[in-house]
Amino acid sequence: MKFKKTFFTEQLRKIMFEKNLTQKDLGEMLGVSRQMVNQWLTTDRKPSFDSLEKISKALKVPAAYFIDGNGNKNGNENVNKSRNEAENNNKNNSENLIKSENKKYENAELSIIMKLIEENNKRVDLEISLLKKDNEKMKKEINSLKKKL
């Protein structure tokens, strides 16, 4: 039987050989029949994306290893590392956004407090002014009373 040589089949054969796996072994790992694995290896039939993902996880290589040769046998570690870095970046971005929003909130609070203080100062100044006027009136009345005495 003449085998169809595709990039996928070559990569799958290579990794199965390196891991000393038979078609039956791989089929059991993936929950598919040995015949399905045989079709992937001997015909133009390619696995579905779901199956490719299962193959990738089972053999611990990135899916790109089978598609275009990118990635290496430690690819899942690299993918996990990249995923962790992306999650950390997202977490840091979220934390920075929260800090930024908190800062805006704090600034808004400070602005409101400053306005309240200014209004309060105006009231105090007005009260002081009224007290001074009252004081002047009282002084005049006292002087007037003194003169009458």
Give 36-80 pLDDT, tens digit per residue.
999 988 887 888 888 888 998 999 888 888 776 665 555 445 555
pLDDT mean over 16-22: 92
DSSP 3: P
Where are the chain's structural domains?
A: 7-73, 75-149
pLDDT mean over 130-146: 86
Position 65 scores a pLDDT of: 82
Give 111-121 pLDDT, tens digit per residue.
888 888 888 88
Has residue 85 got a pLDDT over 70? no
Other CB atoms within 10 Å distance of the CB of residue 146: 8
Angle formed at CA 121 by CA 119 and CA 122, multiple of 5 degrees: 65
Position 1 scores a pLDDT of: 47
Q: How confident is the model at residue 86 (pLDDT cuts 50, 70, 90)?
A: low
Position 21 scores a pLDDT of: 93
Cα dihedral sign for 113, 117, 122, 123?
Answer: positive
Higher pLDDT, 105 or 57: 57
Q: How confident is the model at residue 106 (pLDDT cuts 50, 70, 90)?
A: confident
Query: Percentage of residues in the chain with pLDDT exceeding 90?
Result: 19
Homologous superfamily assigned to 7-73: lambda repressor-like DNA-binding domains (1.10.260.40)
Interacting residues of 53 by C-beta distance below 8 A, sequence separation 6+: 63
Q: How confident is the model at residue 24 (pLDDT cuts 50, 70, 90)?
A: very high
Has residue 16 got a pLDDT over 50? yes
